[in-house]
């Protein structure tokens, strides 16, 4: 984990309430796809945990949804302004387990961390299929960016306005080697039921205190006992999680 000051170099809305922010600064603590950063916002006590969409040597891209006062204030920030952040947080996706044809499933603001994962898998010569689930057409973001990486992309919308009508589980391919996912808990639960024959890793979301394992604010019960979403996760082997099915 590192603490640093990051400068906003790009900040654009992707939909009505989802924003993409590119920050320049020290990215050396980021080591794997699926990690997150904790951003301090002026006037707010706790930092905001935001998943990392992509990063390189000099910049980090995040995509966040305005859900409360903090993210609302963040959405008003301008290019050139700076943010204090902790980076290199969390245990991300293990790309070694993917097999040749991994399936990546994202729902809503669960989509962003899959971007760097898809990029990493493609660089390793894998052939990922990406399913991106949204409620309706005007909530869709990043489908073209995933296509531009070279991944096979399937979009689902609950209202059927774009792509496959229904949920991500209505669009599962017949064959895949492994499943990676991030999204709302009802989606993860349905996906768990639908992919019980194969291995996979799911990224969880939880309200956090510290984000680095100190406060036990974000614990989840697993088959191996209580685990911290921020430090032991956010990515867990799906078989380790407790599912009420």
Partner 1 sequence: MADLKVTLSGLELDNPIIPASGTFGYGYEFAELYDINVLGSFSFKGTTLEPRFGNPTPRIAETPSGMINAVGMQNPGIDRVITEELPRLKRCFHKKVIANIGGFSVDEYAECCAHIDKEDQVGLIEVNVSCPNVHNGCMSFGTDPLGISAVTKAVKAVTSKPVYVKLSPNVTDIVPLAAAAAEAGADGISLINTLLGMRIDLRTKKPVIANKMGGFSGSAILPVALRMVYQVYEAVKLPIIGMGGVSTARDVVEMMLAGATAVEVGAANLVDPWACPKIIADLPGVMAQYGITSLKDIIGGAH
Q: Which listed residue (99, 166, 199, 209) binds partner 1 by CB under 8 A? A: 209
CB of 83 vs partner 1, minimal distance in Å: 14
| Rounded-to-integer distance, Cα 32 and Cα 213, Å | 18
The rounded Cα 194 to chain-centroid distance in angstroms is 21
Asked if 214 interacts with partner 1 (CB under 8 A), we say: yes
| Rounded-to-integer distance, Cα 177 and Cα 57, Å | 31
Asked if 44 interacts with partner 1 (CB under 8 A), we say: yes
125, two tokens:
């010569």
| Rounded-to-integer distance, Cα 182 and Cα 167, Å | 14
Asked if 219 interacts with partner 1 (CB under 8 A), we say: yes
| Rounded-to-integer distance, Cα 67 and Cα 107, Å | 16
Sequence-ordered strand ranges (E) for 95-210:
103-107, 129-134, 152-157, 164-165, 179-182, 200-203
Asked if 218 interacts with partner 1 (CB under 8 A), we say: yes
Nearer to partner 1, 26 or 206 (CB): 206
CB of 68 vs partner 1, minimal distance in Å: 8
Asked if 3 interacts with partner 1 (CB under 8 A), we say: yes
Nearer to partner 1, 21 or 210 (CB): 210
CA distances from 113 to 32, 44, 118, 163, 222 (A): 10, 25, 9, 22, 22
CB of 195 vs partner 1, minimal distance in Å: 24
Nearer to partner 1, 117 or 241 (CB): 241
Asked if 26 interacts with partner 1 (CB under 8 A), we say: no
Asked if 173 interacts with partner 1 (CB under 8 A), we say: no
β-bridge partners, 14: none
Binding interface with partner 1 (CB under 8 A): 1, 3, 40, 44-47, 67, 70, 86, 206-210, 212-221, 225-226, 231
């Amino acid at each position: 984990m590192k603490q640093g000051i990051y400068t906003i170099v790009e900040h654009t809305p992707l939909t009505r309430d989802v924003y993409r922010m590119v920050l320049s600064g020290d990215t050396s603590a980021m080591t794997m796809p699926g990690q997150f950063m904790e951003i301090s916002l002026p006037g707010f006590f706790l930092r905001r945990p935001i998943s990392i969409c992509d990063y390189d040597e000099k910049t980090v891209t995040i995509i966040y949804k305005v859900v409360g006062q903090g993210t609302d204030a963040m959405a008003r920030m301008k290019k050139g302004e700076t943010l204090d952040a902790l980076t290199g947080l969390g245990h991300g996706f293990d790309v070694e387990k993917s097999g040749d044809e991994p399936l990546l499933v994202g729902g809503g603001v669960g989509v962003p961390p899959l971007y760097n994962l898809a990029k990493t898998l493609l660089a390793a010569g894998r052939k990922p299929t990406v399913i991106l689930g949204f409620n309706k057409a005007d909530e869709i973001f990043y489908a073209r960016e995933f296509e531009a990486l070279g991944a096979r992309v399937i979009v689902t919308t609950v209202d059927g306005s774009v792509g496959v009508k229904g949920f991500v589980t209505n669009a599962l391919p017949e064959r895949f080697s492994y499943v990676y996912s991030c999204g709302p808990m009802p989606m993860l639960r349905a996906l768990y039921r639908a992919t019980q024959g194969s291995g996979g890793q799911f990224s969880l979301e939880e309200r956090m205190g510290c984000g680095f394992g100190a406060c036990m604010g974000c614990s989840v019960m697993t088959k191996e006992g209580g685990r911290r979403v921020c430090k032991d996760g956010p990515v867990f082997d799906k078989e380790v999680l407790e599912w009420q099915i």
